[in-house]
Chains A and B, each alone.
Chain A
Amino acid sequence: MGCGHNYHWSKSHPLYKKAPYGKLAVAGSSEAFVLTRSSWFAKKLGWNPDSIQLKATAFCEQVFLDELRRAYPNYVKIPDQNFNHFPEESQRLDERIFMKGRLPEQGVVVKDSAGDIPPYILILHEFIVGTDLKRETYFDYALIHNEMTDKKTSTHISAIISYTLWDNERQRPLFSAVDEVQRPITKPTPEDLEALVRSAVKQIRINLYGGVS
């Protein structure tokens, strides 16, 4: 798919010189997680189908934040009320890839719950969990209206993550990307889901280092 189009899945600011080390704030995680094929997951994981969406997203968010806390000792979470009032804007990564998400206003710094100003904020826009997901089908505007065939068998559980590393002092996006993580499965367990989120965090950290221009 993609007709041989060579996608750029990330974009760095020309002045992104140093990846965050040790200290990082996270924003947007409370509304970023989405579970697709929830009835399939409910059946396989043995969770109640009525509450699978809430339970799975809360589970994934917790794993995500725990993993970040392990990676960045000075980790803080930006309270929702300090962040969720910013409007959504779209960022262009490529001529066909646009990602949407909240970004703080120019000239406005975001404070954490202690009132401090963290230098870097990892803004999580979307974290889509599902099976055999392809990021093209979600982010290439030429493909997003294509209907996908409903597959009966799945070989991977996957996650698509869109995020922005925000320079809170100068209010500019340092690094924006859409990542895709796949994990082969035979029978999914909560451990598989946990491992998927962990590898997503690992992927984000690798990209944050790799994106330094």
Chain B
Amino acid sequence: MSRKSSILLFALSILLFTGASFGGSKFFNSHPTLWKNPDILIWSLDKEPVIDPKEFCLSLKRANSGIGDPKCRLQGEWMRDSIAIRYATWLNANMDPALKPEYLKARHPAMQAKIQALEDQIVLYIATNGNNVNIALFDETASEPKAAGSILLSPDKISMGDEIADMFFDGTAKRRLSKEERKKKMTEPDEYFQEVPVFKMWAGIGMGYSQAQIPLTPDDWYSSHVNSQVGNYRITKDSVSLWNFLDDSDPYFTLYVGGTWYDFIGLELTYHYAKHHMKTDPEDTVYQELDHWNFSQHEIGLSAMFSRNYRPLTWLDITPFLFVGFQYSFFVEDIALKDGVKNPSKAYKARIKFEEAYKGALVGFGSHFIFLKHYGIGLRTGISSRGRNMYVDPSPDAAAESSVIGGFTPDWFIGVGLEYHLSLF
């Protein structure tokens, strides 16, 4: 065989192959709902339908494994009805790849009524037109075909059925609703137009991480505080920030409850716990007696929230929010000497004491992601502070008074929480 003729043969076989696999052409397909265990009514314009209902059911099962157990029968009523026959004849003469479905609409009111009465059944219209077979799908939702196409006529009913099944029935099949479910669904208000509850509330438990440095701000704002160490139980370069004494980057745990009115304005009460180590100078020998020295940070805050609710999907609510509030902070000391140390040093007894309580502000933003109206994940980030009012009235012995320890201690936090949401009214 010469090289030329082998190339020709190859080209010819490709042509044949593509011709065979693209023998049918889809005019349009708006993917009507395909039900599991569907009822397919075959509406044939020809006396002898070009496919066999039983064989077509098997073709459907072969083409779509998720379709379940289809039932196929001839749509006898429409095949005998003169109005339906007129429309079927008309459709056969008018189907064309250039036409949108609206040009194939059934105009006769009786025909429209027939289509609307289908109730979950799919009508498969089949009509031979010369060497082709015109195919269209109808369901109850429109008086025009939902899908249409044509395939080449062949005497093999099974292969015709396979081709039709591959063309139009390859989607995912949905479970059919029972009579009660259908009735309920009819009376159910549209998900997107349901009334918004007046008040929604939530409770959550979460954890996160906080540090002195606020992201995107320069290191040198913090380095003097963060790198500072405590000598001789009380000596630091500066005592305005608690981060001079305590480790700043630590995980925290939180509990919170909150509520919003009209998905817009709300209040949230938070409890926040973290444990910080004292930054004792390792070179200072006075600490040899010390087993551990930590502070537990307890904070109770109340913030106002401004939020907005979005519902991109019926099972998902996204509620971004801003919050601003105040908090009280308490640092509880936990200190112990090593076993066997009977008499602590003088420095230990005169060690630094923090204020009993600090107050501060918190501001930030975040979002609730609420699944199925109840189960939420909350993300938030913000800045919080703890301190004392540094601008007290000057007293006569002001010069002698030491400055307030931890007078200004801000930090940045980021956290995630698991939430339960409910709406009361």
Contacts and interface: CB of A to CB of B under 8 A. Distances in A.
Given A103-B107, A106-B106, A106-B107, A15 B99 contact: yes
Contacts of A115: none
Contact of B90 (A13, A15, A103, A106): A106
B99 A14 contact: yes
B98 interface: yes
A171 interface: yes
A76 B85 CA distance: 29
A140 B255 CA distance: 63
Interface string A74-110: 0000000000000001000000000000010111100
Contacts of A171: 90, 93-94
Contacts, number: 37
Contact of B94 (A103, A105, A108, A172): A172
A170 B99 CA distance: 14
B89 interface: yes
A13 B106 CA distance: 16
A5 to B, nearest CB: 22
B96 A15 contact: yes
A170 B89 CA distance: 9
Interface in A167-197: 169-172
A169 B90 CA distance: 9
B108 A170 contact: no
B93 A170 contact: yes
Interface in B177-205: none
Contact of B89 (A13, A15, A107, A172): A107
Nearest to A87: B109
B17 interface: no
B90 A14 contact: no
Contacts of A169: 93
B98 A89 contact: no
B106 A172 contact: no
A103 B105 CA distance: 14
Contacts of A172: 94, 103
Contact of A170 (B87, B90, B100, B111): B90
Contact of B87 (A89, A103, A107): A107
Contact of A106 (B86, B98, B100): B86
B86 A108 contact: yes
Given A15-B98, A170-B93, A107 B103 contact: no
Nearest to B105: A106
Interface in A85-143: 89, 103, 105-108
A169 B94 CA distance: 10
Contacts of B103: 13-14, 172
Contacts of A15: 96, 98-99
A170 B94 CA distance: 6
A107 B86 contact: yes
Contacts of B99: 14-15
Interface string A22-51: 000000000000000000000000000000
Nearest to B94: A170
Interface of A: 13-15, 89, 103, 105-108, 169-172
Interface of B: 85-91, 93-94, 96, 98-100, 103, 106-108, 111
- Nearest first, the 9 closest Cβ-Cβ pairs linking A and B are A107-B86, A106-B90, A107-B90, A107-B89, A170-B93, A14-B98, A106-B87, A170-B94, A171-B90
26 contacts: A13-B103, A14-B98, A14-B99, A14-B100, A14-B103, A15-B96, A89-B107, A105-B107, A105-B108, A106-B86, A106-B87, A106-B91, A106-B107, A106-B111, A107-B85, A107-B86, A107-B90, A108-B86, A169-B93, A170-B90, A170-B94, A171-B90, A171-B93, A171-B94, A172-B94, A172-B103
